[in-house]
Amino acid sequence: MRFFFLCYVFLFVSSFQKMTINDDDYFYKITEELIPIIHKTDKILIIQRRELDQFKKTGGDKYLISSKYIDMFLHKEDPSKQIEIAYDLLRINRGRYDFISMACNFNLAITLENISPKLAMQFVSAAIKYDEKLEGKYYLGHLYHIKGRIYYNEKAYASAMHNFNKALLSFRNDHQHNNTIYIASMYNNFGLTYSKLNKIKEAHKETERGISILQNKGNLSREEIDFLHIMKGNSGFYLYKLKNYPAAEKLLLEEFEYYKNKESFCSESIVSSQRLFDLYLATHQKEKQNQIIDYLIKTEPKLKNTHSRIVANEVIQEYYVSTNNYTPLKAVSEKLIGLNHSYYDENKRNVKKISDLLNNQIIRNNKEKDDYKAYQQKRKNLLFIIFILIVFGVFGIILYNIKKHNKREKELLKNNGKILEQNNEFQKEKIKNLLQSLNLKIDTEKAFLEYLKKNKKINGDNDSEQILKELFLKVNNLIQIDRRSYDLIIEGNIENKLFLEKLSVLCPTLTNTELKFCTYYRMNLSSKEISSLENTTNGTIRVYKTKIKSKLKLNKEDDLSCFLNNI
């Protein structure tokens, strides 16, 4: 049974063995290594080659996965490529490393945020579960931020605020990283949410808290300075809505001047221009309106983002409407129609491309899942067959051993029977020798008495000496007979003792004399032999035999010796 149990445990462990080595920190360190060089493709490629070399040396899947993971950073601007890489990584990873599963779902959520919010929500929720499983030590705050942002875009402002609060709490509890910019960004998100709820004072208050957090930090990084100006622009916009125009103009101008000559912040500069134009329009500052329009007319052709071009032309269109300048208004309106068509076509193409890609990935995943399930089922069936064969093998071995053991027992019993039979014959032979010795002793004793009688009648010295010599020999014979008899008695004593114990239990009414006679009957001694040993008559012996048979509840025709030998 122990062998059977070990076989079962081995099969169970083999069937459900799963990788438990935790290398999630390894992938996190690679991420931390890549973030500072996010815009330096050549340096990212060096790290990727390093991981591929490790894979070639060791053959470890960890390095293959890490090299594929780095592809995400190489193709950060290509949504289609991001989706393809994320799905490939999930397939290669197969749930082995929670960090990779979390990162892929996180990346898919960001990529699909504006294309398919519902699908993006599924991915970010899955990513949160993985990060929580990892004790939230990686990107939990950022995941709650993305989830809140999806709710915000879907106008579910209460849910958005809830997730922004969870993100803020996560950033504050993370003492291993400098999360100042992320903490400030959550207050900025609170402001945006309050603004959508038309709570402009609360929006301005929360945004100012975010601004003060960054300003109080000191030694700001380029990223922090960039974001600080975004928050100042938002704060200026809220002041504009509160009709505090001087303060609003100051902050909006600061933002505009910071972004207007930076190509990477064209979208921000256009938004800032739009806000300033609205403010100048409300305050009737035509000269400043003209400055903004001149900037937009000059910048618009350089813009690569269609949506930013639409916003810029909408501001220009509004300006021509306010000045009743119909000729350029017509041209701008026609351009806007074309841009809107282009923007619609771009979105349509992007949505179709990504939808096709997602559908293909889903079909591929389903096929791989079906293939994997079929493989797992075949594997389980094979293991079950092996298990059944082992069970039958074990039972076969057990049955064979039982049969072999029974055969050995039978042979042993047979041999023991032969040994007992031989032992009985030997004991009978000893008893015969004992009786012969006793008879010889009796004859010698009688002869000894006869010699003594002769000795009284004889007077001659020579004859007396001869008689004494013969007596000496007879006495010596008696001593030898007694020694042999003693040895025989000692040999049979243990066996007789066991026999008498069993007989006493079987028939407690037997007397000690009757028990002693039973030992004689067991030896197949005749009444004459027993009477000679006990120095009594044959009749007395027969009476004892009748009593013994009666107590043992035997019939007259039953053989007492045979009965006693079977005990």
The DSSP secondary structure of 84-122, one letter per residue, reads HHHHHHHHHHTTS-HHHHHHHHHHHHHHTTTT-HHHHHH
Q: Please give the structure tokens belonging to residue 470.
A: 């013969």
CB atoms within 10 A of CB 185: 22
356 belongs to a structural domain: no
pLDDT digits (tens, 9 = 90+) for 542-563: 888 899 989 988 888 888 888 8
**What six digits make up the tokens of 249?**
């103009």
Count of domains observed in the chain: 2
Domain end, chosen from 177, 197, 215, is at 177
pLDDT at 379 over 70: yes
**HSE (side-chain half, CA atoms, 13 Å) at 99:** 18
* pLDDT, tens digit, 9 for 90 and up, residues 59-97: 889 999 999 999 999 998 888 899 999 999 998 998 899
Q: pTM, whole model, 2 decimals?
A: 0.62
| 292 in a structural domain | no
Q: Is residue 323 part of a domain?
A: no
| Range of 113-117, 168-172, 463-467, 513-517 with top mean pLDDT | 168-172
End of a domain among 177, 202, 225? Answer: 177
Measure the CA–CA gap between 443 and 436, rounded to whole angstroms: 10
489 to 276, 422, 536: CA distances (angstroms): 134, 18, 21
In a domain, 301, yes or no: no
Q: Is residue 87 part of a domain?
A: yes
Say if residue 418's pLDDT is above 90: no
Is residue 163 situated within a structural domain? yes
| Higher pLDDT pick, 372 / 48 | 48
Domain annotation covers residue 123: yes
Q: What is the residue range of 526's domain?
A: 507-567
Query: What tens digit of pLDDT does each residue of 234-269 get?
Result: 999 999 999 999 999 999 999 999 998 887 788 889
Looking at residue 487, its pLDDT comes to 47
> Where among 162, 177, 192 does a domain terminate?
177
Residues 148-163: what's their mean pLDDT?
96
* CATH number of the domain bearing residue 170: 1.25.40.10
Residue 416: band (very low, low, confident or very high) from pLDDT cuts 50, 70, 90? low
Asked if residue 93 is part of any domain, the answer here is: yes
